[in-house]
Amino acid sequence: MTHSSWSLGAAMAVLEPLRAEPGPVLMALQAIQREFGFVPDEAVALIATTFNVSRADVHGVLTFYHDLRTTPALENEIKICVAEACQAVGSRVLEKALKATYKEEVCDAFCFGNCALGPAVMVNGKLIGRATLAKVAEEIK
C-alpha cells in the first residue's frame, strides 16, 4: 500500500470531513494513519487545534491504541499472541524462533480471539492459526 507524503494541505483534506463528527480524535488519528502510513508528530498539534482539544488528549488517544503508530510501518508486521491459550500450545517457543529470524518486525500481542487455533500470529494484518515458522515465512513470501 502506498501512502501520501506528509503535508499540511493533505492532512487538512483528511481532517476536514471529520469536523462534524462527535469525538473525532480517534477517527482523525486513524484517517491520518491511513493517508500517511503513520501519525507524524505534526499531526498531534494539528488534530488538537482542528478539533479544539488539548495535545495531551490527542497524545493520550494515540498512545492508548497499539495499532496507531508514530513511525512508518516496517516492511512486514508480525504480531504473535502471547496470551495464556497460545502460550499453552507453544507461542513462546515460536516467538523466539520468529524473533531470531525476523528481529524487529516481531511484536507481542494479547489475543486475536483465535484461541482454538493457537498459536496465533498476524502477518501484515492476516491472521494465521496453528502458526509455525514455515507458515509465517510462506505468508511473507
Predicted confidence (pLDDT) at residue 47 exceeds the cutoff of 90: yes
Distance between CA atoms of residues 39 and 36, nearest Å: 7
Domain that holds residue 133: 78-140
Instruction: Identify whether residues 110 and 86 lie together within a single domain.
Output: yes
Instruction: Identify whether residues 51 and 82 lie together within a single domain.
Output: no
End-to-end CA distance of the chain: 16
Give the model confidence (pLDDT) of 67-118 as tens digits: 899 998 888 989 999 999 999 999 999 999 999 999 878 999 999 999 999 9
Q: How many Cα atoms occupy the beta-carbon half-sphere of 112 within 13 Å?
A: 25
In contact, 105 and 124? CB cutoff 8 Å: no
Is the residue at 2 inside a domain?
no
The C-alpha cell at 109 is: 500481542
Distance between CA atoms of residues 38 and 20, nearest Å: 23
For residue 133, which of 87, 80, 84, 88 has the smallest C-alpha distance? Answer: 80
Instruction: Identify whether residues 82 and 133 lie together within a single domain.
Output: yes
pLDDT confidence of 1, banded at 50, 70, 90? low
Q: 487455533: which residue's cell? A: 117
Is the residue at 72 inside a domain?
no
